[in-house]
């Protein structure tokens, strides 16, 4: 899981470094004598940016989980394929014994 920790570190570092200029622009954009419409527009922009950030983090989390599930399911399917191959070889042997095609199977009693 070191890759997950590294990607989380990069995401958090990018998020924190993105907040610094954002907060600076928010402080610079605020004027005490501004009409309420400008303040509402500023708030709406920050609300949209926050919603976008939440969507990005949820998508990133979902993609990480999907990648982990994909790896787990791939390993599980390889194990199932090995088991199925083993069962197939046993079944082929049993069929060949039943048909008498295995050398030394002439004394088979048919059970």
User: Which pLDDT score is estimated for 44?
Assistant: 86
SS3 state of residue 100:
coil
Instruction: Select from 44, 42, 53, 43 the least CA-distant residue to 16.
Output: 53
Query: What are the boundaries of each domain within the chain?
Result: 2-27+39-99
Q: What confidence score (pLDDT) does residue 106 get?
A: 53
Residue of higher predicted confidence among 79 and 60: 79
∠ CA 41-56-42, nearest 5°, is 10
Through-space distance between the first and last CA atoms of the chain, rounded to whole angstroms? 53
Q: pTM for this structure?
A: 0.49
Mean per-residue pLDDT of the chain: 80
Give the model confidence (pLDDT) of 4-44 as tens digits: 666 777 777 777 777 787 777 777 777 788 788 887 888 88
CA pair distance 106, 102, nearest whole angstrom: 8
């Amino acid at each position: 899981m070191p890759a997950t920790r590294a990607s989380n570190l990069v995401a958090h570092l990018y998020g924190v470094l993105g907040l610094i200029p954002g907060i600076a622009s928010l402080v610079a954009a605020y004027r005490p004598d501004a009409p309420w419409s400008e303040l509402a527009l500023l708030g709406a922009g920050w609300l949209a940016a926050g919603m976008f950030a939440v969507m990005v983090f949820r998508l990133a989390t979902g993609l990480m989980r999907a990648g982990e599930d994909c790896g787990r399911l791939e390993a599980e399917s390889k194990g199932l394929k090995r088991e199925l191959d083993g069962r197939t070889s046993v079944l082929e042997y049993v069929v060949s014994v039943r048909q008498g095609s295995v050398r030394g199977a002439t004394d088979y009693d048919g059970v």
